[in-house]
């Protein structure tokens, strides 16, 4: 298996239900990474330089929202959600950044399953709708997204209680 986590830790579509919540560890945003990400992907003054940033809308250095989204992705991958097949996004219904991420902020993620549905056209998979909230060390919300994830269904042999692949 290419996923380094054990199969027992992975969740198939049948393992998800609305209301389930999942957590992540924490990751610190530092000014060098904020600037480095911005220089490559979002080169605006309020992401690149503390002095210049003081005279902008943000009144100081702030991480790009896309950097916050990238940190969130890493926290999701390393967190407890763990869908079988990986975190495969099929699109977002919502994406908001209510508060900027600042240098030194320590981010963590909580996710809640909102919907679970099997695919009608692809019996080997389904979709879960998940609200993911990224918070800083003060539990202030810095990002909220509602995303749709493709999740594999349990292989038929395992669905029916069989464990060998030849049954």
Predicted confidence (pLDDT) per residue in 12-24, tens digit: 999 999 999 999 9
Q: Which CATH class is domain 8-158?
A: alpha beta
For the cut 70, the answer to whether the pLDDT of residue 167 exceeds it is: no
Q: What is the pLDDT of residue 2?
A: 43
When pLDDT is averaged across residues 142-148 and rounded to a whole number, the result is 98
Q: Is the pLDDT of residue 158 over 70?
A: no
52: pLDDT strictly greater than 90 = yes
Q: What is the pLDDT of residues 83-137, one digit of tens each?
A: 999 999 999 999 999 999 999 999 999 999 999 999 999 999 999 999 999 999 9
> What's residue 161's pLDDT?
55
The pLDDT value recorded for residue 164 is 45
**pLDDT mean over 43-60:** 97
The pLDDT value recorded for residue 9 is 84
**From start to end of 41-122, where are the E strands?**
88-96, 106-118
Angle at 40 between CA 35 and CA 45, to 5 degrees: 50
Average pLDDT over every residue of 127-149 = 98
Query: CA 23 → CA 36, 45, 78, 80, 159, distances in Å?
Result: 27, 33, 10, 6, 27
Long-range contacts of 41-50 (CB under 8 A, 24+ apart): 41/66, 41/67, 42/66, 42/67
Question: In this predicted structure, what is the pLDDT of residue 162?
Answer: 46
pLDDT at residue 156, rounded to an integer: 80
The secondary structure of residue 14, as a DSSP letter, is: G
pLDDT on residue 166: 40
Among the listed residues 45, 87, 42, the one whose alpha carbon sits nearest the alpha carbon of residue 68: 42
Measured CA to CA in angstroms, residue 148 lies from 65, 81, 126 at distances of 19, 13, 10
Share of the chain above pLDDT 70, in %: 89
Please name the residue ranges forming H helices in the chain.
31-41, 45-48, 50-53, 65-78, 156-159
* Residue 159 pLDDT: 54
């Amino acid at each position: 298996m290419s996923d380094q986590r054990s199969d027992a830790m992975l969740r198939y579509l049948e393992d998800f239900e609305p209301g389930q919540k999942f957590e992540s560890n924490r990751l610190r945003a530092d000014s060098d990474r904020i600037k480095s990400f911005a220089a490559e992907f979002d080169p605006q003054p309020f992401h690149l330089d503390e002095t210049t940033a003081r005279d902008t809308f943000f009144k100081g250095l702030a991480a790009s929202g896309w950097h916050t989204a990238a940190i969130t992705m890493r926290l999701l991958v390393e967190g407890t959600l763990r869908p079988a097949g990986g975190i495969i996004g099929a699109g977002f219904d919502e994406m908001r950044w209510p508060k900027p991420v600042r240098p030194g902020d320590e981010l963590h993620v909580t996710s809640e399953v909102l919907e679970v549905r099997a695919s009608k056209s692809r019996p080997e998979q389904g979709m879960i709708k998940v609200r993911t909230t990224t918070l800083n060390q003060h539990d202030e919300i810095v990002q909220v997204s509602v995303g749709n994830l493709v999740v594999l269904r349990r292989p038929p042999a395992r669905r029916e209680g069989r464990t060998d692949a030849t049954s």
